Amino acid sequence: MSDQQRAPRLTLIVSSLLALLLCGLPLPRAVDALRPDLLLLVVIWFALMKPRAGGLVYAWLAGLALDAFRGIVLGQNALAFVMIAFLVHRFHLRVRMFPLSQQSLFVMSLLWLYQFTLFWVDGVTGHPLTDWARWLPALTGTLLWPVFAGLMDRITARG
């Protein structure tokens, strides 16, 4: 494997582990409700900008890792991550040409779909959570996307 192929994979692994650790960082309850889904943002970014490094298998493994880390229904995040990664892979050539503001709207729709999928799985498994705060991470993730995409672009440009 050449250095050009190794760099995105190393960045993928490090950023995924960092995002997973930040998901478990203890925060006050009011701030925790605003916590964006960082691991999902990493999955979306890699599926959008480096589709060969971040594929559906990566999305599935990241979702399983998040399920195990949070101790929730195994496969819940994996299903949602794969659905989101599939949509990003399907439209990545078009979305990459969008300005950052339109990319943010696309990411917002993906984050809402992710939250709805978790809402549906929770309802099916008998763990309904009808609190309105469930939808706040989609909003904060959308607002964070331009900064996050710029940061990831800078990190991968160096590697």
Using one digit for the tens of pLDDT, what is the confidence trace for 30-46?
Answer: 899 899 999 999 999 99
Using one digit for the tens of pLDDT, what is the confidence trace for 123-159?
Answer: 898 887 777 888 899 999 999 999 999 999 998 886 5
Q: Is 33 exposed, middle or buried (0-12, 13-18, 19+ CB in 10 A)?
A: middle
SS3 state of residue 33: coil
Tokens read off for 75? 């496969």
Tokens read off for 159? 């590697």
The pLDDT value recorded for residue 13 is: 94
**pTM of the complete model:** 0.92
Using one digit for the tens of pLDDT, what is the confidence trace for 11-33?
Answer: 999 999 999 999 989 999 889 98
Residue 59 · residue 82 · CB < 8 Å: yes
Distance of CA 60 to the CA centre of its chain: 11
